[in-house]
Structure 1
Amino acid sequence: MPAAGIDQPILPLAPSTAELANQSIVPPMTMDAYWLATYGTPGAGSTNTTYITGHSWEGADAPFDRLSTHLNPGDTITLSTQTGAIDYTVDTVTTHDKNTLKNSDIWRITPQRLVIISCYTNDPWGKNVVITASPTP
């Protein structure tokens, strides 16, 4: 994500059955990015939404801190996969209350859509920042 200065590997994460049922997924407490492997796989022909998540940190310069302040609609995101690079264009950057995120339309399946979720840096305990992006034509 050039606009946010984020360039890092993404590790697979398989949420538990309870997390999937509650749509309350908490990634490991690291500065890494995680792909929710039980949802969609990015790339041409994808029939699901691809989700990436990671933490923002208070008092540390974590890469996902910049999602709240440096990413805007129209910016580009490139995912490098085993089958090649996929370019996305940011559609929305929004915030959601943590307690209502599970009822958000971000969980609606949209083929080839990318959704990135992290804590909102201005209210990391109460809100999430959510980025939605579509493949760049």
Structure 2
Amino acid sequence: MGRHRRSSETERGGSRRLLLSYVDLLVLSFCCLGILTAWLIYGAGGISPSSASAVDAPVVRYTPVGAPTEIPKAGAPAGTTKAPVPAKSAVAAKPAAPKPSPAPKAITAAPPQRIIYPAAGMDVVVHPLKPGSGDMDSRSIVPPETMDGYWLTPYGQPGVGSVNTTYVIGHSWEGQDAPFNHLSAAAVPGDVFTVVTAKAKLSYRVDSVTTYTKSTLKDSPIWSVVPNRLVLISCYTQDLWGKNVAVVASPLRAK
């Protein structure tokens, strides 16, 4: 009984092994059939899955933006780039020649407005006065009854461009300390005084101090035409009714 049971088990084991071999063959056949089918689909058509993906994928072109970054050479420390070579400096231009300074503007002639004569203690305002035709002919001009000075407008003006002698007249007063009184006693040749106009302050030096009788003043040389010369005229304090004093001055040249 025991030997017969083992024999039966042996037969069943051999049949089981044979059955597994058939199954393996069947699986192998299906695998071969799958491989053959895949080859027919992809291999025979000349297109592999990878090729199909390559054809279908869009082509992307890269355009670099900006200047390319220089790749550091081997051995160079990371993060460093070659310093740019400095451009050759342009040749320095020669400095422009300085422009000549403009010539100072000439002080044109203008009416006198004030006379400052320190040596004679005189500081007087000057007003314009236009004599009548009869006074001009006789040259016996009487100024208004004030202590101010009066510029005779028909004649010259002080300053550059003057065309005639400038005349300023004023009264001397008996018993009063009037500005023009000082011309008789204090004015001497060489004195310097200032004539103020609307455009400048002009310096004059006294050339002469002369006393004339009223009858001879008309024909005296003080009436000669001398551009930019200035003459101060008043009554002579020692003889107010009979004589006149004339102070003739010329402009000082500007330094």
Say which one has the larger Rg. 2
Identify which of 17, 20, 30 aligns with 2:136.
20
Gaps of 5+ in 1: none
> Which residue pairs with 1:102 in the alignment?
218
> Which residue pairs with 2:229 in the alignment?
113
2: CA distance, partners of 1:101 / 1:71: 19
Pairing 1:34–2:150 present: yes
Question: Offset at 1:21?
Answer: 1.2
Q: Quick one: which amino acid aligns to residue 124 of structure 1?
A: L
> Which residue pairs with 1:134 in the alignment?
250
1: CA distance, partners of 2:135 / 2:193: 27
Instruction: Summarize the alignment of residues 53-92 of structure 1 with structure 2, pairs less than 5 Å apart.
Output: 53-92=169-208
Pairing 1:45–2:161 present: yes
Gaps of 5+ in 2: 1-116
State the structure with bigger RCO (CA 8 A, min sep 6), 1 or 2.
1
Question: Offset at 1:111?
Answer: 0.8
TM superposition score normalised by structure 2: 0.53
SS in 2 for 1:96: strand
Question: Offset at 1:47?
Answer: 1.1
Measured against aligned partners, the alpha-carbon deviations of 1:1-23 in whole angstroms (never above 9, x if no partner) come to 01011112101100111111111
1: CA distance, partners of 2:240 / 2:139: 18
2: CA distance, partners of 1:94 / 1:63: 18
2: CA distance, partners of 1:25 / 1:31: 16
Question: Offset at 1:45?
Answer: 1.4
Identity %: 56
2: CA distance, partners of 1:81 / 1:32: 16
2: CA distance, partners of 1:104 / 1:88: 21
Q: Quick one: which amino acid aligns to residue 176 of structure 2?
A: A
SS in 2 for 1:8: strand
SS in 2 for 1:7: strand
Measured against aligned partners, the alpha-carbon deviations of 1:93-115 in whole angstroms (never above 9, x if no partner) come to 01000111001111110011000
Structure number having the greater strand percentage: 1
Runs (4+) of structure 1 moved beyond 6 Å?
none
Question: Offset at 1:30?
Answer: 1.1
2: CA distance, partners of 1:41 / 1:81: 9
SS in 1 for 2:177: coil
TM superposition score normalised by structure 1: 0.98
1: CA distance, partners of 2:124 / 2:141: 20
Measured against aligned partners, the alpha-carbon deviations of 1:64-113 in whole angstroms (never above 9, x if no partner) come to 00001111100011110011011100000010001110011111100110
Structure number having the greater helix percentage: 2
